[in-house]
Amino acid sequence: MIIEGKKRLWQEYQKEIATDNFFYVRSCVRQNFFPGAEQTFLRIMRESLGKTVFENPGHTTCTGIGYHCDIVPFNTTMTVVARQFALMTEAGCENLAVSCITSFGLYTEILETWKHFPETEAKTREYLRKATRREFKIPNNLAHASDIIFKLRHEIVDRAPYKLINHNTGEPLKVVEHIGCHYSKMFPHKGVGGAEYPYVLAGLAEALGGEIVDYPERRHCCGFGFRQYVVKANRGYSLSCSKKKFDSMEPYRPDLIITNCPGCPYFLDRWQYVVSEMNGKTYGENGHGIPVLTYEELVGLALGYDPWDIGLQTHQVSSEPLLVKMGIPFKPEKKYLGRRGEFMGRPAKPEYLKIDMEQVVVDSSLDAEG
């Protein structure tokens, strides 16, 4: 009975996720802070899994941060999102793959609003027609990009030479998974596993052999808070939220943090640097921080992509300790090289947080381009 009950409960939190032919819409935060991550998603989908993903360079911000900072009216946001739907429709696609969690939450909110208040959809169509003469179809399938990676995780694992297993001890690596609030806190049934037990990242990490850390502040917000970060006078809110999470996860000695939201990896990465500068405190091993990766960066590493081709040099907290644990061969000196091998200089060193790894064991089989 109990098992049947559990199955029934979980069925409520399953979602249909398309497996091919996507129209991809990008994230403002990720394009600015982790531009390599979105490119890695496309590379995983197109090169490693042979999927079709369309893009239209004419898609814009969904206005999500402006909307949640309360300077962009709901009607405006609905119409901008309707324009993205129009571009998808014009590309002959029905499956929308959304890079951003704020966008994903907003698209979900808008579709729910249109369902319950049909007059808002009619009005949005009228606005869009007036402003752009475009028409649109509602997506047949709306998925966050992390949903798609979750759905395809077994295909990924089959192709992955590297796992979330300590290369030296054979033990599973300890993974903190942090889910963006707007993934499922507003509409739990639209996320894999709901809001209390979201499984979208945990499922990926487990498939790669990792062990999930269940720590007290696991579901606490990273602290973006929109206007609470954007305005300098409020920024202590954001830092305090992230610090609360770091202090809560620290005793479990996580090997990495993975996230599915654009803002979260940024805050969990940068606020570790800020805590170190303010208090001299670091949360990782030997003066390093806890590496913070997006789900694509993790999958890219597992698939054997070069760490510096997927953008790990754009993080303030170094990922090298994780690479060593996973047994991934890499060349530290290539971290700051351009594509043609030109040296781009290197960032200044923070006072306390270690950002480079001078001494690493590099696999001798790795060629000069590796």
Partner 1 sequence: MITDYYNELTSDVRFTEGITGCLNCGTCTAICPAAEFYNYDPRIIADTVQTRDNDKIYELLSGDMIWYCGECMSCKTRCPRNNAPGLIIMALRALSMRTGLFTESEKGRQQLMVKRSIGEWILKYGYCLYREEMTIEDHPEQGPTWEWQNSHLDQLFDRFGVKYRGDGPGPLRKIPEDAMEELRRIFDVTGASDLYEFIEEQSARKASEMGLEFNKRLDCDYMFEIYNHNSDFHTKH
Neighbouring CB atoms inside 10 A of 142's CB total: 21
- Number of chain positions touching partner 1 (CB under 8 A): 96
Q: How far apart are CA 256 and CA 61, in angstroms?
A: 30
Q: How far apart are CA 56 and CA 91, in angstroms?
A: 8
Cβ atoms of 192 and 152 within 8 Å: the answer is: no
Please name which of 96, 86, 25, 90 lies closest in space to residue 61, comparing C-alpha atoms. Answer: 25
Asked if 223 interacts with partner 1 (CB under 8 A), we say yes
Asked if 338 interacts with partner 1 (CB under 8 A), we say yes
Indicate the residue among 163 and 220 with the shorter CB distance to partner 1: 220
> Binder to partner 1 among 22, 295, 305, 308 (CB under 8 A)?
308
Binders of partner 1 in range 135-174 (CB under 8 A):
none
> Binder to partner 1 among 202, 221, 256, 328 (CB under 8 A)?
221
Cα dihedral 222, 143, 98, 67 sign: negative
Indicate the residue among 28 and 299 with the shorter CB distance to partner 1: 28
Q: Where are the alpha helices (DSSP H) in 14-92?
A: 28-33, 35-43, 64-68, 74-90
Q: Which stretch binds partner 1 (CB under 8 A): 6-14, 169-177, 235-243, 250-258?
A: 235-243
Binders of partner 1 in range 186-205 (CB under 8 A):
186, 188, 195-196
Binders of partner 1 in range 260-289 (CB under 8 A):
270-271, 273-274
Binders of partner 1 in range 52-91 (CB under 8 A):
55-61, 63-66, 68-76, 79-80, 83
> Binder to partner 1 among 13, 22, 23, 26 (CB under 8 A)?
26
Name the β-bridge partners of 161: none
Binders of partner 1 in range 87-126 (CB under 8 A):
105, 113, 116-117, 120
Please report how close the Cβ of residue 350 comes to partner 1 at its closest, in angstroms. Answer: 6
Half-sphere exposure of 366 (CA within 13 A, CB side): 17
Distances (CA, A) of 285 to 49, 63, 327, 362: 35, 39, 17, 20
> Binder to partner 1 among 19, 121, 155, 185 (CB under 8 A)?
185
Q: Tell me if residue 245 falls in helix, strand or coil.
A: helix
Asked if 232 interacts with partner 1 (CB under 8 A), we say yes
Indicate the residue among 209 and 262 with the shorter CB distance to partner 1: 262
Please report how close the Cβ of residue 158 comes to partner 1 at its closest, in angstroms. Answer: 25
Q: State which amino acid sits at residue 313.
A: Q
